[in-house]
């Protein structure tokens, strides 16, 4: 019994003493598991101590109703051996864990030293580059090709000796020719004038193009352009097209200056395509609306009436 008590006291002291220095903090999973095992061992030792405290001095009674007095010494020796073995293993694990912690700390310290060295090298390179770019010290001889202080740098002539081509004194560069004036804007009147001139020289294509150009872009001059188109088609012997164009000219301005000419041209075009009855009706309309014809229209109107067989 005394031997069992001594072993328990030894275990209590061994477990109760901190296994790591006060400055080492174990926060890994292995350290936490190890601390839990030590706590369990402490509980087992404390339970064993409580059982021993309750045992009678004669040693004949049981320990907490679990172990008999006769085999208590042998069983306690076996338990003590097991506990001592577990304590030894835990101490070994703690030492191993402390060794790994020291290795990590040493590695971190080496990394910090390497980083500090790299930063120092970089600063040295920057200082060296700045010193190389610094201006020359006062009193140092100027480099070859450097002009003395206070004098401007000599200017080289530009490529192609353009300096010789620059004017000197009062000479002036020749004035550039003025740009050509922009072409005059073509008005509807100008286009119609060109179209009538083309009709006089029998350029029917140019006359027709001029008339259609004004009709497409200038509505205010559409009557004059329509009359030019009708006469152009008539002289091209496109009598059907001319009849339509003359009728359109008359309808655009029934009291305009081109109205009697348009009616006479319509009658002539209808007679040319053998529409004599329609031609005669157009001549009657001309006589009714314009009883006093111009002198240049009276003879053509009378001749047309005879050719169409009008009454």
Tell me the pLDDT of the chain (311 aa) as tens digits: 444 444 544 545 444 444 444 444 455 677 777 778 887 887 877 777 777 666 544 444 444 444 444 445 566 778 888 888 888 888 888 888 888 888 888 888 888 788 778 777 777 777 776 665 544 444 444 454 444 444 443 444 445 444 444 555 555 556 777 777 777 778 889 999 999 999 999 999 999 999 999 999 876 668 999 999 999 999 999 999 999 999 999 999 898 999 999 999 999 999 999 999 999 999 999 999 999 989 999 999 999 999 999 98
What's residue 97's pLDDT? 86
Could you tell me which of 75, 80, 74, 71 has the C-alpha nearest to residue 44? 80
What's residue 115's pLDDT? 78
Report the distance separating Cα 239 and Cα 246, nearest Å.
Answer: 10
Which pairs from 58-66 meet CB under 8 Å and 24+ separation?
59/1
Tell me the pTM. Answer: 0.43
Does the structural domain 188-308 have CATH classification 3.40.50.300? no
Could you tell me which of 259, 256, 242, 269 has the C-alpha nearest to residue 297? 259
Report the distance separating Cα 254 and Cα 271, nearest Å.
Answer: 21
Q: What residues does each domain of the chain span?
A: 2-124, 188-308
Q: Which H helix or E strand runs over 84?
A: helix 72-133
3-state secondary structure at position 15: helix
DSSP state of 29: H
What's residue 99's pLDDT? 85
Helices (H) and strands (E) in the chain, counts: 10, 0
Give the number of other CB atoms < 10 A from CB of residue 305. Answer: 19
């Amino acid at each position: 019994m005394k031997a069992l008590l001594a072993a328990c006291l030894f275990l209590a002291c061994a477990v109760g003493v901190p296994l790591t220095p006060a400055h080492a903090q174990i926060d890994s999973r292995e350290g936490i598991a190890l601390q839990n095992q030590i706590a369990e061992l402490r509980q087992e030792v404390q339970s064993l101590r409580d059982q021993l405290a309750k045992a009678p001095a004669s040693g004949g009674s049981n320990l907490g109703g679990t172990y008999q007095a006769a085999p208590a010494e042998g069983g306690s020796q076996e338990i003590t051996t097991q506990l001592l073995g577990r304590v030894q293993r835990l101490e070994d694990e703690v030492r191993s864990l402390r060794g790994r912690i020291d290795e990590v700390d040493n590695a971190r310290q080496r990394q910090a030293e390497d980083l500090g060295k790299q930063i120092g090298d970089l600063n040295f390179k920057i200082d060296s580059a700045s010193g190389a770019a610094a201006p020359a010290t006062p009193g140092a001889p100027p480099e070859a090709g450097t002009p003395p202080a206070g004098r401007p740098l000599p200017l080289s002539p530009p490529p192609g000796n353009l300096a010789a081509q620059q004017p000197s004194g009062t000479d002036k560069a020749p004035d550039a020719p003025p740009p050509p004036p922009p072409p005059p804007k073509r008005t509807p009147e100008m286009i119609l004038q060109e179209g009538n001139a083309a009709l006089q020289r029998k350029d029917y294509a140019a006359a027709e193009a001029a008339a259609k150009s004004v009709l497409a872009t200038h509505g205010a001059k559409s009557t004059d352009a329509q009359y030019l188109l009708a006469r152009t088609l008539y002289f091209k012997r496109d009598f059907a097209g001319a009849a339509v164009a003359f009728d359109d000219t008359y309808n655009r301005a029934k009291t305009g200056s081109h109205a009697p000419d348009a009616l006479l041209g319509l009658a002539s075009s209808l007679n040319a395509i053998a529409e004599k009855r329609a031609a005669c009706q157009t001549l009657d309309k001309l006589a009714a609306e314009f009883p006093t014809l111009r002198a240049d229209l009276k003879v053509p109107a009378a001749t047309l009436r005879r050719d169409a067989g009008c009454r």
